[in-house]
Structure formats: structure tokens, C-alpha cells
Amino acid sequence: LTAIYNFKMRLIILCLILTLTLSAVIQLSKQVNRKRLYRIKSQNNHCLDEHGGGAVTAPLCNGGDYQKWWARDAGDGYITFQSYRSRNYLDSNGAGGVYTLPGNGGWFQQWIILYQELTVLRNRATGRYLYGGFYSDNVQTLATDANSYSFEDITPEFDCP
């Protein structure tokens, strides 16, 4: 009788462990599906880049960690871009400045990708378009002009923050 009881207890514990493990795998899978790692490139092979001090530039693409951005769903079709290296978010202001700051959930850190004649990024709070990396490394937002960007998916099979 004791052997049967011990067997049932072991079976229950095994089922519990498998259930918890499966639940963790499902949650991780959902997390990975919501976040993707991208290199954001302009038409002439310049990539959005930030070095942790808040400044955003667009030098030639070099494959470095400062040119990698996590894209996360912010709701209503908007996305936030989080620097892979510094973990700060792509941010903007009404004067056209583009920089990174710690995440605050505000609209100045939310962007929408518009697929018109060009693929452009527009800031939710300002309505201004991301512009930079075409004729110089300078990045800003403009009210009426924009650069076309491509999004190179470089999501690894691991390393989700």
C-alpha cells in the first residue's frame, strides 16, 4: 500500500513539474513572438545607432550592438524601439530632436511604421517623421519629409531581455 502511495505522489509531482515547465516554455514563446531585434537601415546603408549617452546618429551600418533595436508592440499599431546595448528607448520631441531615454511608456517613445511610397517612421506624440542617415549621420524628425527605412530582422534564438 505504501509503494502505491509513493508511486502516485511521484506521478503527481512529475505532472506538476511538467506542467510548470510547459507553462514557462509557452510564456517564453509568447515573449519572443512579441519582441523582435532589428537593424534599422536607411536607403544608403546607414543604420540608427546610439551609444548609451542618449545621442542617436546614423553612421554606415557596421553590425555593432549599438545598431540593434528591440521592437515592441505599444498598442494601437505603434511600436517602441529599445536599444539592444543601453536598453534606452528611441525618443523624440516637438522641436525635432531624436535621442534615447529610459522607458517611460509615453507617446514620444512610440512610433508607427507607415508603408506608403516609402517605409517611414512617424512619432506618435509629434506626428513628425524620422529623418537621418541619408546625406549625413545626423538624425532628427521633420514635419513633412522622411527617409525610407528597412528593418533587417536579426532576432537571435535566445537573449531576449
pLDDT tens per residue across all 161 residues of the chain:
778 878 888 888 877 675 655 554 454 444 444 578 999 998 888 999 997 789 999 999 999 999 999 999 999 999 999 999 999 999 999 999 999 999 999 999 999 988 866 788 999 999 999 998 766 788 999 998 777 888 888 987 655 55
Q: Per 3-state DSSP, what percentage of the chain is helix, strand, and coil (rounded to 5)?
A: 25, 40, 40
The pLDDT of residue 30 is: 45
d(CA 7, CA 88): 52
Task: With beta carbons less than 8 A apart as the criterion, state whether 46 and 57 touch.
Answer: no
Helix, strand or coil for residue 74?
A: strand
The pLDDT of residue 76 is: 93
Residue 69: which residues within 8 A CB-CB, separation 6 or more? 37, 38, 39, 40, 48, 81, 82, 83, 84, 90
The pLDDT of residue 20 is: 58
Cell of 26: 509557452
Closest CA to 111 of 126, 101, 94, 97: 126
Write down the residue that cell numbers 530582422 correspond to: 153
Q: Please state the separation of Cα 92 from the chain's center in Å.
A: 16
Helix, strand or coil for residue 79?
A: strand
The pLDDT of residue 39 is: 93
The pLDDT of residue 33 is: 46
Closest CA to 149 of 71, 53, 51: 71
Task: With beta carbons less than 8 A apart as the criterion, state whether 40 and 151 touch.
Answer: yes
